[in-house]
Amino acid sequence: MNTEYLSVKDAAGEEALCRAAEIIKNGGLVAIPTETVYGLGASALNDEAVERIFTVKGRPQDNPLIIHVHGSEALKMWCSEVPEAAYKLAEKFWPGPLTMVLKKKNCVPDRVTAGMDTVAVRCPDHPATLRIIELAGVPIAAPSANISGKPSPTSAEHVRHDIDGRVEAIVDGGECRVGLESTIIDLSVTPPRLLRPGGVSLEQLRDILGEVDVDAAVYRRLEAGERPKAPGMKYRHYSPRARVVILDGAVENVAAYVNAHRGERTAVLCFDGEEKLFDVPVCLSYGDPARPETLAEKLFACLRELDRDDIDEIYSRCPPKGGVGLAVYNRLSKAAGNTVIEV
Ligand code: AMP
Ligand code: MG
């Protein structure tokens, strides 16, 4: 299949968006830019198109998709029993990196929700994708536009690398501002439960909701037989081919550990200004820990850059666990198969 490239950065933008919407209406697949990561979108109401999303990504069938909508009016169209808290969160954080899980209406196809009685809904903060949703006139089901297991794509180039020739179109809307997938909050239970940390922090959610539980899968690997509430959290994720190890400790200790254990094929993910401390073949900074949003923005691009044949081990500095840092820590520890060494 010849994949169309639709750029929305120039004057031809509106034409490109109309084309993308037309492809979606006709049951095709379009990779779409959002502020979190690029999504692989299809009409949520078209079973065959949704089925193809799973095939193209190699995504396990029991891992439900998020539907992307244009605003909070959509909540009552697709969800039953919408609590007041959902509207409060939408008012504060939509469009933005927050997905809400709510009881679904029958009109939401089981194919999208993997047979669950809840549906995950989000309004993304990217003008191109908001316009595509509006023009298509349907909710867009979209997981991240990567091959399952690999780091999510934060640029159109990452998407091209993973799925060129397998989808009808890729919309290039520039680099993703947040860089990690959305926060997922389950509002179908009391108290609400954080299923996945993201660009909206746990602290921000507690400011609005009061008590919020945190799913065990956010902090640690689940034991055999334990079931996470967000099925996607059980899979190995975000991984380059190399073994990833998080080193938790002061920078001098991390540098001493790495320099004592490094091999010919070792890479390091450090923080800004620390590169010279590490005696390794490849050393990349993924941002400034005092501003965890910079770590979020660059983490996946760095993991992709380190996904090379000549690197078989990646040591990473441990991000701070507060605010958006919790989301960075969560993705990095999944990439590391939860291998954290305190130094
Ligand atoms: P992705 O789109 O690749 O970021 O994955 C979507 C995530 O949302 C996965 O981890 C899913 O398990 C989760 N998810 C989607 N729908 C639901 C739902 N109804 N209940 C709980 N988690 C969900
Ligand atoms: Mg994903």
Ligand nearest to the CA of 184: 1
The partner residues of 317 in beta bridges, in order of sequence, read 247
- pLDDT tens string for the chain (343 positions)? 999 999 987 667 899 999 999 999 999 999 999 999 999 999 999 999 999 999 999 998 889 999 999 999 999 999 998 999 999 999 999 999 999 999 999 999 999 999 999 999 999 999 999 999 999 999 999 999 999 988 999 999 999 999 999 999 999 999 999 999 999 999 999 999 999 999 999 999 999 999 999 998 888 766 667 676 777 666 666 778 899 999 999 999 999 999 999 999 999 999 999 999 999 999 999 999 999 999 999 999 999 999 999 999 999 999 999 999 999 999 999 898 878 999 9
Ligand 1 atom nearest the C-alpha of 120 is 16
Task: Please name which of 160, 167, 172, 203 lies closest in space to residue 185, comparing C-alpha atoms.
Answer: 203
Helix (H, G, I), strand (E, B) or coil at 214: strand
Candidate from 101, 122, 222 with most ligand 1 atoms within 8 A of CB, to mutate: 101
**DSSP string spanning 145-209?**
SSPTTSPPP-SHHHHHHHHTTSSSEEEE--S-SS-SPPEEEE-SSSS-EEEE--SS-HHHHHHHH
269, 306 in Cβ contact below 8 A?
A: yes
Q: Rounded to the nearest whole angstrom, what is the distance from the C-alpha of residue 63 to the centroid of ligand 2?
A: 10
Give the H or E element holding residue 42. strand 39-43
24 lines ligand 1 (CB under 6 A): no
Burial class of residue 11 (count of CB atoms within 10 Å of its CB; 0-12, 13-18, 19+): exposed
Ligand nearest to the CA of 235: 1
φ and ψ at residue 2, rounded to 5 degrees: -90, 115
pTM recorded for the entire structure:
0.94
41, 90 in Cβ contact below 8 A?
A: no
